Amino acid sequence: MATDSIAWPRSEGLSRPFVDQLHEWVTTVDHKRLGILYVVYALIFLVVGGIEATIIRIQLIRPHNDFVSPQVFNRMFTMHGTTMIFFVVMPLVFGFANYLVPLMIGARDMAFPRLNAFSFWLTAFGGLLLYFSLVGANGLYGAGNAPDVGWFAYAPLTSRTFSVGHSTDFWTLALLVSGFGSIGTAINIMTTILCMRCPGMSLGKMPLLAWLNLVMAGLVILAVSPLTAAQVMLVIDRYLGGHFFDTQAGGSAVIWMHFFWVFGHPEVYVLVIPAFAFISEIVPVFSRKAMFGYPIMVAATVAIGFVSMSVWAHHMFTVGMSANANTFFVFSTMAIAVPTGIKIFNWLATMWGGKILFKTPMLFAIAFLFQFLIAGLTGIMLGSAPFNWQLSNSYFVVAHFHYVIVGAILFAIFGAFYYWFPKVSGKMYSETLGRWHFWVFLIGFHLTFDFMHVPGLLGMPRRIYTYEPGRGWDTWNLIVTIGVFFQAAGVLVFVYNLLWSYFRGDAAGSDPWDAWTLEWSTSSPPPAYNFSTIPTVRSRRPLWDLKHPEDPDWKYE
Amino acid sequence: MNATSMTVARPVEWDRPSRGTVGMFCLIAAESAIFTIFVVAYLFYVGKSLTGPTPKEVLSVPIFYTICLLSSSLTIHLAVRALRRGSVRAFGAWWFATIALGAAFMYGTATEWHRLIYHEGFTISTNLFGTTYYSLVGLHAFHVVVGLTGLSIVMAFTLLGSLTAEHAERVDVLSLYWHFVDAVWVVVFTVVYVIGR
Residues of B in contact with A522 (CB under 8 A): 3
Asked, for residue A168, whether it belongs to a domain, the answer is yes
Residues of B in contact with A182 (CB under 8 A): none
* E strands, chain B, in order: none
What total number of domains does chain A contain?
1
Residues of B in contact with A555 (CB under 8 A): none
pLDDT at position A164 is: 85
Residue B2 pLDDT grade (very low, low, confident, very high; cuts 50, 70, 90): very low
The amino acid sitting at A426 is G
**Residue A542 preceded by cis peptide, ω within 30:** no
Would you say residue A496 has pLDDT above 70?
Answer: yes
At A392-445, the pLDDT tens digits run 999 999 999 999 999 999 999 999 999 999 999 999 999 999 999 999 999 999
At A259-314, the pLDDT tens digits run 999 999 999 999 999 999 999 999 999 999 999 999 999 999 999 999 999 999 99
Of A34, A45, A51, nearest to A99 by C-alpha is A34
Would you say residue A504 has pLDDT above 80?
Answer: yes
Q: How deeply is B47 buried, as exposed, middle or buried, from its count of CB atoms within 10 A (0-12, 13-18, 19+)?
A: exposed
Kindly report the CA angle at B28 between B23 and B30, in degrees rounded to 5?
A: 95
Asked, for residue A14, whether it belongs to a domain, the answer is no
Q: Cα–Cα distance between A255 and A312 in angstroms, integer? A: 12
pLDDT at position A140 is: 53
Residues of A in contact with B127 (CB under 8 A): 243, 249-250
At A62-85, the pLDDT tens digits run 999 999 999 999 999 999 999 999
Q: Cα–Cα distance between A543 and A421 in angstroms, integer? A: 19
Residues of B in contact with A543 (CB under 8 A): 1, 6
CB A408 within 8 A of CB A371: yes
Asked, for residue A1, whether it belongs to a domain, the answer is no
Average pLDDT over residues A182-191: 97
Residues of A in contact with B27 (CB under 8 A): 187
Would you say residue A324 has pLDDT above 50?
Answer: yes
pLDDT at position B197 is: 85
Main-chain phi, psi angles of A364, to 5 degrees: -65, -35
Q: Considering only A97-101, A106-110, A131-135, B174-178, which range has the smallest mean pLDDT? A: A131-135
In CATH, what number is assigned to the domain containing residue A344?
Answer: 1.20.210.10
At A448-458, the pLDDT tens digits run 999 999 999 99
pLDDT at position A1 is: 37
Residues in chain A, overall count? 557
pLDDT at position A17 is: 87
Nearest CA in chain B to A243: B128
SS3 of residue A177 by DSSP: helix
A228 interfaces chain B, CB cutoff of 8 Å: yes
Asked, for residue A12, whether it belongs to a domain, the answer is no
Nearest to B12 among A195, A200, A543 (CB): A200
Question: Model pTM?
Answer: 0.94
Chain B positions contacting chain A at CB under 8 Å are: 1-8, 11-12, 14, 16-19, 22-23, 26-27, 29-38, 41, 44-45, 48-51, 123-125, 127-128, 131-132, 135, 139
Would you say residue B54 has pLDDT above 70?
Answer: yes
Q: Considering only A1-10, A193-202, B8-17, B133-142, which range has the smallest mean pLDDT? A: A1-10
Kindly report the CA angle at A351 between A539 and A284, in degrees rounded to 5?
A: 30
Residues of A in contact with B54 (CB under 8 A): none
At B16-48, the pLDDT tens digits run 899 999 999 999 999 999 999 999 999 999 999
pLDDT at position A143 is: 59
> Between A and B, how many residue pairs show a Cβ–Cβ distance under 8 A?
151
Average pLDDT over residues A17-35: 93
A554 interfaces chain B, CB cutoff of 8 Å: no
Residues in chain B, overall count? 197
pLDDT at position B10 is: 57
Q: Which domain holds residue A451?
A: 34-555
SS3 of residue A394 by DSSP: strand
Nearest CA in chain A to B20: A191
Of A340, A229, A207, nearest to A280 by C-alpha is A207
pLDDT at position A4 is: 42
Kindly report the CA angle at A107 between A101 and A113, in degrees rounded to 5?
A: 75
At A131-169, the pLDDT tens digits run 999 887 775 555 568 899 999 999 999 998 888 888 899
CB A78 within 8 A of CB A149: yes
Residue B45 to residues A92, A534, B39, B57, Cα–Cα distance (Å): 39, 55, 10, 17
Residue A2 pLDDT grade (very low, low, confident, very high; cuts 50, 70, 90): very low
Test A2 with B2 for CB contact under 8 angstroms.
yes
Would you say residue A181 has pLDDT above 80?
Answer: yes
Asked, for residue A401, whether it belongs to a domain, the answer is yes
Q: Which residues pair with A427 in a beta bridge?
A: A507
**Average pLDDT along chain A:** 93
Test A186 with B30 for CB contact under 8 angstroms.
yes
At A32-57, the pLDDT tens digits run 999 999 999 999 999 999 999 999 99
Test B19 with A250 for CB contact under 8 angstroms.
no
CA trace torsion B56, B62, B63, B64 (10° rounding): 150
Would you say residue B4 has pLDDT above 50?
Answer: no
Where do the domains of chain B lie, and which CATH numbers do they carry?
35-47+55-195 (1.20.120.80)
Q: Cα–Cα distance between A554 and B18 in angstroms, integer? A: 28
Q: What are the residues whose beta carbons fall under 8 Å from the beta carbon of A491, sequence distance 6 or more?
A: A46, A47, A50, A437, A441
Asked, for residue A80, whether it belongs to a domain, the answer is yes
pLDDT at position A144 is: 66
Average pLDDT over residues A473-496: 96
Nearest CA in chain A to B134: A242
**Average pLDDT along chain B:** 93
pLDDT at position B3 is: 44
pLDDT at position A16 is: 80
Test A229 with B128 for CB contact under 8 angstroms.
no
Residues of A in contact with B1 (CB under 8 A): 1-3, 5, 521, 543, 546-547
Test B127 with A545 for CB contact under 8 angstroms.
no
Query: Is 0.85 exceeded by the ipTM?
Result: yes
CB A229 within 8 A of CB A256: no
Kindly report the CA angle at A535 between A184 and A111, in degrees rounded to 5?
A: 15
Residue B11 pLDDT grade (very low, low, confident, very high; cuts 50, 70, 90): low
Kindly report the CA angle at A534 between A532 and A536, in degrees rounded to 5?
A: 140
Test B26 with A221 for CB contact under 8 angstroms.
yes
Q: Considering only A5-9, A91-95, A136-140, A234-238, which range has the smallest mean pLDDT? A: A5-9
Distance from CA of A232 to the nearest CA of B (A): 9
A191 interfaces chain B, CB cutoff of 8 Å: yes
Counting residues of chain A whose pLDDT is more than 90, the rounded percentage is 90
Residue B1 pLDDT grade (very low, low, confident, very high; cuts 50, 70, 90): very low
Q: Given CA atoms B180, B184, B186, B189 in this order, what sign does their dihedral have?
A: negative
pLDDT at position A537 is: 93
Average pLDDT over residues A371-377: 96
Asked, for residue A7, whether it belongs to a domain, the answer is no
Would you say residue B146 has pLDDT above 90?
Answer: yes
Asked, for residue A111, whether it belongs to a domain, the answer is yes
